[in-house]
Amino acid sequence: MTVKVLHPGLLTTIQDLGRYGSQKYGVIVSGAMDSFSLRVANLLVGNDEGEGALEITLFGTTLYFEKDSLIAITGGDLLTTIDGENAPMWRPILMRKGSVLKFKSAIKGCRAYLAFAGGIAIPKVMDSKSTYLRAGIGGFKGRALQKEDTFECGELNELNHSLVQQLEKLNGHFTWAVNYSALINLKSSQTIRVLKGTEFNRFESKSQLTLFNGAYSITTQADRMGYRLEGPALSLAEPFELLSESVTYGTIQVPPNGQPIILMADRQTTGGYPKIGQIISADLPSLAQLQPTSIIQFKEVTHEEAFMELLKKEHIIDEIKMAIHFKRTY
Amino acid sequence: MSNRNLGASMKPLGDSALIVQLGEGISPSIHELVNNLSVLLNNHPFEGFIESVPAYNNLTIYYNPVAVHHSQINKEVHHARLTPFQKVSAFMEELVQQTRKNKFHDKRVVTIPVLYGGEYGPDLEYVAQCHSLSVDEVIQIHSEGDYLVYMIGFAPGFPFMGGLSEQIATPRKETPRLVIPSGSVGIAGKQTGVYPLETPGGWQIIGRTPLDLFLPAISPPTLLQAGDKIRFAPICPKEYDHYKEMKL
């Protein structure tokens, strides 16, 4: 099936779960900002959870379907319509040939994920379909989608096919949907859980308290690379020079001006600013759904808690996976 | 190698990565440990291992905590109550011990041809003036040095190298250039490096190599890797063009 871009929107890129294995060469990971929503979108259409899908930012993306297609929309609510009618989210939808899918603008969250049965037929670069914008590789020709771009979806597997057949019988849509509320938080003000960073103890004790007592807002300088925050300044007990070393998704680093920066999916592989905190993996997808001006309150947790929270979320995704396999059998 | 370099400490980088710290500061002997540990780990990965990233004096290990949780990566330890971080730490402790016993291959030496000065090295004269040297002396000092790639970061294939002579160490430009072409060879303080991609930057640019440092279509995708020894070889414009033509 072929999909044509009528309007690319603010920033629409192809992402999967990221390009791992090449960070030692300076190649960034990229991948979906909200990986839980990407995985669920893929599962809902019968794909492997790590297939490439579209990450649609805030508003404006409009797509024309030249053939019947099985899709699913997850993540932030961007007031999506199919030929002007509200499109359901978090469930498989059969798009009819000639219909138009439009993402108007975000009313909840920041990024929507659109998965296509069979995935998106583009070559992998270094084992990933994720778009690496700065190096111009991966994704759709190494760049964000533009007007008039067209792409094909991949071959359907058995599960893709049986979901299509089920939907044909039901006039194109299921009555059920995934309840995402235990998986991601789409509120505009959130408590985000944090582990102490590698240089936490190098900060003055007042700053150590401030991180967890103060509130920080996300500035307009927030993109796939990082979120610059604004709030009570954080300072080191005494200045020291840190050699460049690895940083990762969710690292909270503090440059000399004292305003923290959270590193996101397109972060560089290494950095030299002191790291005061590290956001737990279970909360990264919710963080990715926050828009500029949102308020964050950091809460310290232990490693045991961080891991239990991740296990909980992985369990929910496992249940969704099993439910999809179950649906096709009757 | 002094004894204090032999201890390794493990620190978590969140819930899905840990940093094995093998010493402090910048020295070839600590870095050799880092690199050897990385090689050993990649040859003997544990279940749930994703990748490792060497830096000056530490190695970062990325892992899937759920996969580590369900695995038995170290038979001698009873893992039931250990967190994934503790399990990976125990595994890495053992690997650090083995690293010290193993013999490793010699380092690769990579020669990078450089056309110094002119439009490709607009800051070469400034560097010479700074140190009351002639342009030729700067070229000679830069190309006679033995350099070690400590790590790759900042951009794909960008080497953080040690070994620049103090004689030509030069501070960054006060105002960074908006565009530095790929292949540019620069100096920033006591560092020298090569830009793999066109980016903004504040380094003093003294020349350009016709070689590509980032090669996304092949594996490994970069000309240089951590642990490589580097030499710069001066070339003339004709040779530069010849290299460029060979690539087409």
B221 touches chain A (CB under 8 A): yes
Of B69, B101, B133, the residue at which a domain comes to its end is B101
Predicted pLDDT at B183: 96
Q: Are A271 and A196 part of one and the same domain?
A: yes
Which chain A residues contact residue B55 at CB under 8 A? 243-246, 270
Q: What 3 state SS string does A123-146 have?
A: CCECCECCCECCCCECCECCECCC
Which chain B residues contact residue A24 at CB under 8 A? 38, 51-54, 152, 225-226
Which chain A residues contact residue B82 at CB under 8 A? none
Averaged pLDDT score across all residues of chain B:
91
Q: Are A281 and A221 part of one and the same domain?
A: yes
Residue B73 sits at φ, ψ, to 5 deg, of -85, -10
Predicted pLDDT at B5: 43
| B111-130: average pLDDT | 97
A23 touches chain B (CB under 8 A): yes
Predicted pLDDT at A186: 97
End-to-end CA distance of chain B, in Å? 46
Q: Are B128 and B216 part of one and the same domain?
A: yes
Per-residue pLDDT of chain A (330 residues; tens, 9 = 90+): 599 999 999 999 999 999 999 999 999 999 999 999 999 999 999 999 999 999 999 999 999 999 999 999 999 999 999 999 999 999 999 999 999 999 999 999 999 999 999 999 999 999 999 999 989 999 999 999 999 999 999 999 999 999 999 999 888 778 889 999 999 999 999 999 999 999 999 999 999 999 999 999 999 999 999 999 999 999 999 988 788 899 999 999 999 999 999 999 999 999 989 999 999 999 999 999 999 999 999 999 999 999 999 999 999 999 999 999 887 654
- Quick check: A125 and A58 in contact, CB under 8 A? no
Of A180, A205, A224, the residue at which a domain comes to its end is A180
| B135-141: average pLDDT | 97
Q: Are A232 and A164 part of one and the same domain?
A: no
Q: Are A163 and A195 part of one and the same domain?
A: no
Q: Are A173 and A303 part of one and the same domain?
A: no
Q: Are B203 and B114 part of one and the same domain?
A: yes
Of B101, B124, B144, the residue at which a domain comes to its end is B101
Q: How many CB pairs under 8 A join A and B?
A: 132
Calculate how close chain A gets to B54, using CA atoms only, in Å: 7
Report the chain A residue with the minimal C-alpha distance to residue B53: A24
Among A27, A278, A306, the residue with its CB nearest the CB of B156 is A27
Report the chain A residue with the minimal C-alpha distance to residue B81: A304
Q: From the candidates A17, A20, A22, A24, which should be mutated to test the interface with B, based on the most B CB atoms within 10 A?
A: A24
Q: Are A282 and A155 part of one and the same domain?
A: no
Which chain B residues contact residue A246 at CB under 8 A? 13, 17, 19, 53, 55, 60
| B55-81: average pLDDT | 84
Among A126, A195, A268, the residue with its CB nearest the CB of B216 is A126
Dihedral over Cα of A295, A248, B178, A58: its sign: negative
Among A20, A195, A270, the residue with its CB nearest the CB of B55 is A270
Interface of B with A in 117-136 (CB under 8 A): none
Q: Which band of pLDDT confidence, cut at 50, 70 and 90, is reported for residue B246?
A: confident
3-state secondary structure (DSSP) of residue A120: strand
Q: Are A170 and A21 part of one and the same domain?
A: yes
Which chain B residues contact residue A195 at CB under 8 A? 12, 14-15
Q: Which band of pLDDT confidence, cut at 50, 70 and 90, is reported for residue B3?
A: very low
> CATH number for the domain including A195?
2.40.100.10
Q: Which residues contact A218 (CB under 8 A, 6 or more apart)?
A: A227, A228, A229, A230, A290, A291, A292, A293, A294, A295, A296
Residue B154 to residue A20, Cβ atoms within 8 A: no
Q: What is the pLDDT of residues B146-157, one digit of tens each?
A: 999 999 998 899
Of B83, B101, B119, the residue at which a domain comes to its end is B101
Report the chain B residue with the minimal C-alpha distance to residue A313: B66
Predicted pLDDT at A329: 55
- Quick check: B237 and B117 in contact, CB under 8 A? no
Burial A6-22 (b: 16+ CB within 10 A, else e): ebbbebbbbbbbbbbbb
Q: Are B232 and B153 part of one and the same domain?
A: yes
Residue B154 to residue A244, Cβ atoms within 8 A: yes
Cα–Cα distance between B24 and A35 in angstroms, integer? 36
Cα–Cα distance between B225 and B35 in angstroms, integer? 10
Predicted pLDDT at A191: 98
Among B83, B196, B219, the residue with its CB nearest the CB of A307 is B83
B58 touches chain A (CB under 8 A): yes
Q: Are A206 and A151 part of one and the same domain?
A: no
**pLDDT at residue B71 is higher than 70:** yes
Report the chain B residue with the minimal C-alpha distance to residue A302: B15
A128 touches chain B (CB under 8 A): no
Cα–Cα distance between B6 and B166 in angstroms, integer? 29
More confident residue, B201 or A3: A3
Which chain B residues contact residue A270 at CB under 8 A? 53, 55, 151, 153-154
| B85-101: average pLDDT | 92
Read off the DSSP letter of residue A306: H
Cα–Cα distance between B228 and B218 in angstroms, integer? 18
Percentage above 70 pLDDT, chain B:
93
Q: Are B42 and B77 part of one and the same domain?
A: yes
> CATH number for the domain including B84?
3.30.1360.40
Predicted pLDDT at B248: 64
Calculate how close chain B gets to A272, using CA atoms only, in Å: 10
Q: From the candidates B9, B11, B16, which should be mutated to test the interface with A, based on the most A CB atoms within 10 A?
A: B16
3-state secondary structure (DSSP) of residue B46: coil
CA diameter of chain A: 68
Report the chain B residue with the minimal C-alpha distance to residue A242: B25
Q: Are B208 and B124 part of one and the same domain?
A: yes
What is the DSSP annotation of A74-85?
EEEE--EEETTE
Predicted pLDDT at B1: 38
Q: What is the pLDDT of residues B15-27, one digit of tens each?
A: 999 999 999 988 9
Q: Are A275 and A296 part of one and the same domain?
A: yes
The whole domain housing B15 covers 3-101
Interface of B with A in 74-103 (CB under 8 A): 83-85
The whole domain housing A244 covers 189-310
Q: Are A207 and A145 part of one and the same domain?
A: no
Predicted pLDDT at B102: 74
Predicted pLDDT at B79: 55
Dihedral over Cα of A20, A287, A316, A48: its sign: negative
The count of structural domains within chain A is 2
Calculate how close chain B gets to A302, using CA atoms only, in Å: 10
Residue A268 to residue B84, Cβ atoms within 8 A: no
Q: Cβ atoms within 10 A of the Cβ of A274, count? A: 21
- What's the CA dihedral at A63, A65, A66, A71 to 10 degrees? 140
Predicted pLDDT at B229: 95
Predicted pLDDT at B4: 43
Q: Are A33 and A164 part of one and the same domain?
A: yes
Q: What is the pLDDT of residues A44-72, one digit of tens each?
A: 999 999 999 999 999 999 999 999 999 99
Q: Are B121 and B175 part of one and the same domain?
A: yes
A243 touches chain B (CB under 8 A): yes
